[in-house]
Homo-oligomer: A and B are copies of this chain.
Amino acid sequence: MTPKVLLVEDEAPIREMMSLALSKVGYTIIEAEDAASARKRMLDDLPDIMVVDWMMPGESGIEFVRSVKSESLTKQIPVIMVTARAEEDDRVRGLEVGADDYMCKPFSPKELAARIKAILRRTNPQLTDAPIEVNGLRLEPDSHRVFANDKSLELGPTEFRILHFFVTHPERVYSRGQILDYVWGSNVYIEERTVDVHIRRLRKALTPAYNGLVQTVRGAGYRFSTRS
């Protein structure tokens, strides 16, 4: 799952320099040479972050960013503005229209990579939830822990995610396919039987006190329920 970077820059040499540097560091690069095509690529490819040149023929980078940041579908995509000028004023204007960071040419590829990385890191914060308790079984998302009557249980990462999903979606049957979607993500090809194995591992970790909570529904899937 390498992050996708959309480069919007009219000058081909600069674009290619950036593209090369970034793909070397492990990003997937999408290029656009003007605002119009950028708009298209943005909607088609859903980049994780955009690097936009300030000065471009036609619609300027500023206008482009402003419109991107005013549409709900795209406003959350972080943007780094790039400009030749280093005026404090520009910086302010850039950030004003909603850019998340600002760089002046010339800059090193390394610096660009660094900023992208920093922004992705902080715009992707894990959301937290309050602890969930059911029948003396407590799951704390913050500390990433599960307690059975205050005794800590050892769960693997996947088992933790499954339990988290179950605890937040109780009393309802989910097929193996649905569980794969919710816990692993939609675009993953994994045998459905693998769910069985992880269910078993989860039950084992909950043994002996709480394994009745994870119930098999023959022909349908699994269910998390406090009712037997």
Contact = CB atoms under 8 A, between A and B. Distances in A.
A110 interface: yes
Interface stretch (A10-18, A47-55, A172-180): A172-180
Range for the number of chain A residues in contact with chain B: 35 or more
A108 B18 CA distance: 40
A186 interface: yes
Contact of A217 (B72, B127, B144): B144
A121 interface: yes
A213 to B, nearest CB: 14
30 contacts: A37-B96, A40-B95, A40-B100, A71-B127, A72-B125, A72-B126, A72-B127, A72-B142, A73-B125, A74-B125, A75-B128, A110-B189, A113-B189, A114-B189, A118-B188, A118-B189, A121-B180, A121-B181, A122-B177, A125-B178, A142-B171, A142-B172, A142-B173, A143-B223, A143-B225, A144-B223, A152-B228, A156-B218, A157-B218, A157-B219
